[in-house]
Structures are given as structure tokens and as C-alpha cells.
Amino acid sequence: MLGHTMGYRENNTVDSSLQRTEAIPKAMLKKVFYTQLLIIELSLCSIHSHAWSLFNTELVQVHKDIIQAYPAVDHINADALTALLSAISTKKTVLLDVREADEYSVSHLPGAVRVSPDSDETDLIRKLGEKIRDATVVFYCSVGQRSSALADKVQAALKNKGAAEVYNLEKGIFNWHNNQRPLENKKGATDFIHPYNFIWKALIKRDALVRYKVVLH
């Protein structure tokens, strides 16, 4: 009882010395909390920086693994695709974005058509129709895994329907974006890109341009 009454004056108001005593732990706790947040933020920055260095070094190996997994798939690099898409090129090109809708909505290669990673030959032929006749068909995704898998599954059917060539874009849209090549969405040209997830975000060099969704007005 004595311990409780010492903090009060006779008029039952809280003694200011007790208020100050109680405030000290709260202030310390707040300081510790924000210090921990800062440590976590700095740690994440360090992890991301290290991850980018690691993934940038290993991106070539990622592509080698894809080649090994899908030996029947041919690949086209970003320079060759840029030339193919140039105004002076006479070749008809069909770009197929093999990512989910939210990824595609943030950005995609100019003129690309989104197709589900779960598509089959019938789906693509129905969707593309005569567009594939005499065309160079280029599949792409984030790094080339999903697009290579789909290209491997459907390329024979596409060629039977008249496609001239079928390729996977080497190292995907991430490498395309890292080399500052053009992207677009419904609003027009954009520099934003979807990272697929937090882990694969490390492959994106300009991470300030990462977006998980885009607001379209």
C-alpha cells in the first residue's frame, strides 16, 4: 500500500517525479525499437547488395543451367532481338511473355502478348492464329526458365503451323531491363519491372524501379 501512495499527492494527482520515472523505460524502449529497425534495414541493404553481386556473377550460370535443362530450345540474346525488332528488319516477330498477369501489367517488351506458363499447343495456336505463320516467335519470362519450358513444349507444333523460328530470350526480361532496353505497359513506355518475388529481386540492377503492381489511371 505504501508503495502505491508514494506516487500521489494528497489531492490524488499523479506526482510528476513518478511520471518521469515511468517515462524513462518507455523512452528507452522506443530508442531500442528504432535502433533495431535501423539495424534490420541496414542488414537487408547489405544482403541485397551481396545478393546482386552474387546473382550478377551467376546469371551466366543460370542461363547455362537452362540450356542444359532444355537442350532442344534455341536462344536469342538481347542484341539480336533488338536488331530483329528494329524498323529496318523485314522479319515478322511475335513476342510471347510467359509470366503471370501482375508481372505483365507492370511492364513487358513492346508489343508482347502475354501467355500463361501453363499454356499448351492448342492454347497458343488458338490465341495467335495466323500471326505465327512465317514469324520468328520469341518467348521470354523473368530469367528464361518458364519461357524455355513452354518453348520446349510447343515449338514443334508452332513450326508445323508455319512459324519460321522459335527462340527463348536469353536471360529474360531482367537482363533486358538491366541493359536499359525499352519496356511498356498500358500507360506507355516505362522503366518499372516486376521482380517475380523478393529473392529474385536481387537480379534486378536498378532496384528502385521494382514494382509489384502498377496503378493505371
Residue 200 has a pLDDT of 87
Lowest mean pLDDT among 52-56, 93-97, 162-166: 52-56
Confidence category of residue 203, pLDDT binned at 50, 70, 90: confident
Q: Going by DSSP bridges, is the β-strand pair 183-185/188-190 parallel, antiparallel, or unpaired?
A: antiparallel
d(CA 39, CA 52): 20
Grid cell locating 112: 508482347
| Spatial CA neighbour of 93 closest among 83, 79, 103 | 83
Are 75 and 67 within 8 A, CB to CB? yes
CB atoms within 10 A of CB 12: 7
Share of the chain above pLDDT 90, in %: 61
For 89-123, the pLDDT digits (tens) are 778 999 999 999 999 999 999 999 999 999 999 99
Confidence category of residue 55, pLDDT binned at 50, 70, 90: low
pLDDT at 16 over 80: no
d(CA 66, CA 68): 5
d(CA 151, CA 23): 65
Is the pLDDT higher at 156 or at 29?
A: 156
Is the pLDDT higher at 127 or at 88?
A: 127
Lowest mean pLDDT among 19-28, 156-165, 198-207: 19-28
CA distances from 36 to 23, 40, 42, 47 (A): 20, 6, 10, 16
- In the chain, what are the domains? 73-209 (3.40.250.10)
pLDDT at 80 over 90: yes
d(CA 115, CA 77): 21
Grid cell locating 101: 498477369
Amino acid letter, 119: S
Q: What pTM was estimated for this model as a whole?
A: 0.74
Instruction: Output phi, psi for 95, to 5 deg.
Output: -100, 125
Residue 67 has a pLDDT of 95
